[in-house]
A = this chain, B = another copy of it.
Amino acid sequence: MGPAATAEFYAKLIRRTPVTRDQDHLRVAIWADPTVPDRVGAVLGGTTDPYPAMLEGARRLRDLGATVAVMPCHTAHVFLPALVGDSGLRFLDMVGETVAELERRDGAAGGIGLLGTRATLASGLYQNRLRAERFDVVLPQETTQWQVDLAIKKVKQGNPRAAGQHLDNAVRAMARTDASTIVLACTELPLAARHLTPAGGPELLDPTDLLADAVIRECRGTPPATDGYRAG
């Protein structure tokens, strides 16, 4: 739903698909409607409901013949169960893919830090599923959340470099907690993360990598190894 995050997800899907020529790539239809009302405001309460516009988009993709759909937006995953039911379209679930990956990596001794919009965090989208699997979840403090809000805003304004500074502040604050892995639970954050200075500290996990690999696995075969990156 965030246009820059959508473009980056599409580019990532292409980069992670093993090919030797154009015709090896997946057939992709994108419905990018940035006029969908703000998801964060709606989840936190009070602003225009984005769901009718989201359902309309899902129906358009279904009518185009999509067999598998994804939403590269965490906050929008709050609406996923309703969307699957009402559109009849099969969606892959970015939150589910992330929790499954963290379970595969269960050697991780410390906690799982979450950075995302206030709406994603307030909804319990990740925490409920992580705690059900007995992960220790570390949430940002208010001053850290403020840095995350600014990082997301700067990406949406087309300034990923400034966003990187704010994300860096947030990651440094999380590095002082028990978190050994930080989930970038907002699809704008990986765009900011490209501008982090690599350093020690918690590992950053990008759920959009996992979602892209899930699409490739579902539609085509086995994806390549995950590109990991560290910062802190």
Contact = CB atoms under 8 A, between A and B. Distances in A.
A8 interface: yes
Interface stretch (A25-33, A138-146, A173-181): A25-33
A161 interface: no
Of A22, A23, A32, A35, chain B has the most CB atoms within 10 Å of the CB of A22
Interface stretch (A11-19, A98-106, A117-125): A11-19
Contacts of A31: 29, 64
Contacts of A38: 22-23
A20 B157 contact: yes
Nearest to A26: B34
When all copies of this chain in the complex are counted, the total is: 2
A3 B15 CA distance: 10
- A: contact size bracket: 35 or more
A178 B27 CA distance: 42
A1 interface: yes
Contacts of A32: 10, 25, 27-30
Contact of A35 (B7, B27, B33): B27
Given A19-B158, A22-B3, A158-B19, A11 B14 contact: no
B25 A34 contact: yes
Interface in A158-184: 158
A24 B30 contact: no
A70 interface: no
Interface in A14-69: 14-15, 19-35, 37-38, 60, 64
